[in-house]
Amino acid sequence: MNAIISASELASDLAGTNPPVLLDIRWQLSVAKAAGEPPFDGRAEYAAGHIPGAVYVDLDQELASTPGARGRHPLPDIARFGAAMRRAGVSADRAVVVYDGGQGWAAARAWWLLQWAGHPDVRVLDGGLPSWEGPSETDTPTPAEGDFTPEPGAVQLLDADGAAALARGGVLFDARAGERYRGEVEPIDRVGGHIPGAVSAPTNENVGTDGRFLPAEELATRFKSLGATEGTGVGVYCGSGVSGAHEVLALAVAGIPAALYVGSWSEWSSDPERPVAVGPDPQ
């Protein structure tokens, strides 16, 4: 099953006899704002217009737990996550499609979590809401309660020690911007740099100017050139397990399975005992 779906394919599926559950995951990374600039409000964006039938899901509240020692977006409490998915109408025997405002990170986080929790049929709208050419609505739907019960462990998950080991014995991709990998800037976390041995692979290089993923063949060529060769274990991290999920999704489109280090740099860098590398060299 393809991990992504085009807008035209989604329109066709929504018009069918068994339409997918549709989740709106609009979100933006919260960083320091200019004086007087309001923070991004995904729920307000959703209320202003969304794909008909879509249910809003809050990334910070429902797809992550409270920030702390395990990072800015730790795994959510599994009971709370399951309840949020059932509220949105998610059931084990019904397909799910997730989308966001176009960047793809938040939708990929929802895709990865549902896969990790055992849902068998989840796809991301390629290009997000900007790719949708159909109607929109402002009404908030009230779907029938779903029956999805999360069973974590269906896909690979890394902790800090596992990420360190994979950086030595496989390939660990750093999905952040290159300047953060090199330690030239660090707008959020305690210290800049990267996990020793990790390879820089910015996730924004996996998509075109329209926000859609590059063709699978191009993605496969890119990742193989960076070390994801056959038989090599592959992992991904980012700042807090959101853009990293987008890179795992890109790898899935390329046909390459990969594990996600959810704690990512926000967890790693908060521990002064963990080594930090700077500069363009992985080591």
Instruction: Specify the length of the chain in residues.
Output: 283
Residues 6+ apart with CB under 8 A from 136: 49, 50, 51, 52
Burial annotation 17-49 (CB, 10 A radius, 16+ → b, else e): eeebbbbbbbbbeeeeeeeeeeeeebeebbeee
Is 1 a residue whose pLDDT tops 70? no
- pLDDT tens digit string along 162-180? 999 999 999 999 999 999 9
- pLDDT tens digit string along 228-266? 999 999 999 999 999 999 999 999 999 999 999 999 999
Residue 30 pLDDT level (bands cut at 50, 70, 90): low
What is the predicted pLDDT for the residue at 39?
Answer: 81
Is 198 a residue whose pLDDT tops 70? yes
DSSP state of 138: -
Tell me which of 23, 238, 254, 256 is the catalytic residue: 238
Mean pLDDT of 191-204: 97
> What residues are paired with 122 via a beta bridge?
96
Is 34 a residue whose pLDDT tops 60? no
Least confident of 18-27, 31-40, 262-271: 31-40
The overall pTM is greater than 0.85 = yes
C-alpha distances (whole Å) from 4 to each of 29, 57, 58 are 22, 19, 21
* Enclosing H/E stretch for 244: helix 243-253
What is the predicted pLDDT for the residue at 35?
Answer: 53
| Cα 203 to the center of its chain, rounded Å | 10
- Sign (positive or negative) of CA dihedral 61, 105, 203, 254: positive
C-alpha distances (whole Å) from 149 to each of 20, 48, 108, 117, 223 are 17, 31, 20, 8, 34
Is 126 a residue whose pLDDT tops 70? yes
26 is catalytic: no
At 42, list the tokens.
């995904």
**How many other C-beta atoms lie within 10 A of the C-beta of residue 99?**
30
Residue 32 pLDDT level (bands cut at 50, 70, 90): very low
What is the predicted pLDDT for the residue at 40?
Answer: 85
